[in-house]
Amino acid sequence: MHTSLALLLELGVILVGLSVLGAAARRWSFSPVPLYLLAGLALGNGGIAPVPAAGDFVEVGASIGVVLLLLTLGLEFDTAELTHSLRRHVPSAVLDLVLNAAPGAIAGWLLGLPWPGVLALAGATWISSSGIISRLLVDLRRLGNRETPAVLAILVMEDFAMAIYLPVLVVLASGGTWWQALIGVLVAIASVTAAFTASHRWGHHVNRWLAHPDDEQLMLRVLGTTLVVAALAELVSVSAAVGAFLVGLTLTGETAERARGVLTPLRDLFAAAFFLAIGFAVSPADLVPVLPAALALAAAGALTKVATGWYAARRDGVAPRGRLRAGTALIARGEFSIVIMSLAGASTPALGPVVTAYVLVLATIGPLLTRWAGDWLRPRTPAGRARREGR
């Protein structure tokens, strides 16, 4: 077997560099995600130190990374808890759609984009990044916070909504008919419903089959099953992230705890590839002309997501600090916005640079704002802290 010297060298340099960035981020107590994104920008096409030989590995690793991020997030919860939270947060999801799709739709109309372009830009500004946010919740140790179920409910309902949105966008962008879009939507809805029902009712059988006393066997079974389910989810136009999340939900008790232990190193490796890939897809030279429009959209998108998270957390009785944490946690955009851009790019070429710059800005500042939100609205007295604790 011939191994590329350039590939080994570039991957080695990348991993060492990420280690340095991660250590620096943790030294200052914030998530390394923004640094990974900027590293991807520097190492990608048009960057200051491109690494072409490692590009394919990073692209494949990114797909696995987002699957592992959502799998390990699902391991923290169970279907009963999630179902209750989803029912409570239907109004939150409606507000999320209205507040966050509107800036993109308005901007698309003002830019004179065709209707598929307007729809695509609305979707790109609406949907948060499940991959980035799930990593942030882990890095900042907020999985047990009172506002986290509200954040999770918003993310899951956004991912489910993509099952309806993406088939419609694909058909409109390719010039298809309304009945083709309707068929795609019905298939996606039926698939999501069946998968969620199966996870809720028969998850204990899956849990029993995946469980194994040997850690290696456990890792291979869980990872293999997750990738198969993620592929099937993509086949029926549902996000691979949703499939991975549902697999995580089916694992409970000791099996879930052991699965987290054996999968965490893999998750961290491939998650780094996912964050790098977002920066790899961007040429810095393409960002400069569209940066003013992207910054304006990013400012609006940050404010609307904070309002969404604040409202959702308030429905769960969370104090103001927790509401602010929920809102800032939702700011980051990522994988879905890039997918939307690629689907509509052929019919609306002007969309690509704007969406790419928008994603990069919010994927970078979102984690920073999320980290700092823990220090805002901090009560000044011990009594005030006791009354207003947001956890």
- Token digits for 350? 């002007």
Residue 186 lies in a domain: yes
- Token digits for 288? 């400069």
Residue 3 lies in a domain: no
Weakly modelled stretches of the chain, pLDDT under 50 = 385-391
Residue 44 lies in a domain: yes
CA distance 108 to 297: 11
- Token digits for 117? 């372009």
Q: What is the pLDDT of residue 177?
A: 67
Q: Is 285 exposed, middle or buried (0-12, 13-18, 19+ CB in 10 A)?
A: exposed
Distances (CA, A) of 151 to 82, 124, 374: 11, 18, 15
Q: At 271, which amino acid appears?
A: A
Q: What is the pLDDT of residue 14?
A: 92
Residue 8 lies in a domain: no
Residue 194 lies in a domain: yes
- Within 28-74, where are the H helices? 33-43, 55-74
Residue 81 lies in a domain: yes
Domain count, the chain: 1
Distances (CA, A) of 322 to 165, 212, 319, 333, 358: 30, 38, 5, 21, 26
Q: What is the pLDDT of residue 130?
A: 84
Q: What is the pLDDT of residue 387?
A: 46
CA atoms within 13 A of residue 303's CA, in its CB half-sphere: 8
Q: What is the pLDDT of residue 151?
A: 93
CA distance 154 to 96: 8
CA distance 243 to 26: 31
Distances (CA, A) of 166 to 85, 88, 196, 238, 272: 24, 25, 19, 9, 26
**CA nearest 276: which of 72, 15, 26, 6?**
15
Sign of CA dihedral 199, 81, 240, 125: positive
Please work out, in degrees rounded to the nearest 5, the angle formed at the alpha carbon of residue 166 by the alpha carbons of 161 and 168: 105
Q: What is the pLDDT of residue 326?
A: 95
- Token digits for 56? 């394919």
Rg value, the chain, Cα: 20
Residue 207: which CATH number? 1.20.1530.20
Q: What is the pLDDT of residue 330?
A: 95
Q: What is the pLDDT of residue 328?
A: 95
CA distance 2 to 305: 49
CA distance 326 to 190: 30
Residue 199 · residue 249 · CB < 8 Å: yes
Residue 388 lies in a domain: no
Q: Is 218 exposed, middle or buried (0-12, 13-18, 19+ CB in 10 A)?
A: buried
147's enclosing H/E stretch is none
Distances (CA, A) of 142 to 217, 221, 241, 325: 30, 28, 20, 9
Q: Give the helix, strand, coil percentages of the chain, each rounded to 5.
A: 80, 0, 20
Q: At 346, which amino acid appears?
A: A
Residue 12 lies in a domain: no
CA distance 362 to 370: 11
Q: What is the pLDDT of residue 287?
A: 81
Please work out, in degrees rounded to the nearest 5, the angle formed at the alpha carbon of residue 125 by the alpha carbons of 124 and 129: 75
Residues 6+ apart with CB under 8 A from 152: 73, 77, 82, 85
Residue 128 · residue 305 · CB < 8 Å: yes
Q: Find the domain containing 276 and state its range.
A: 31-375
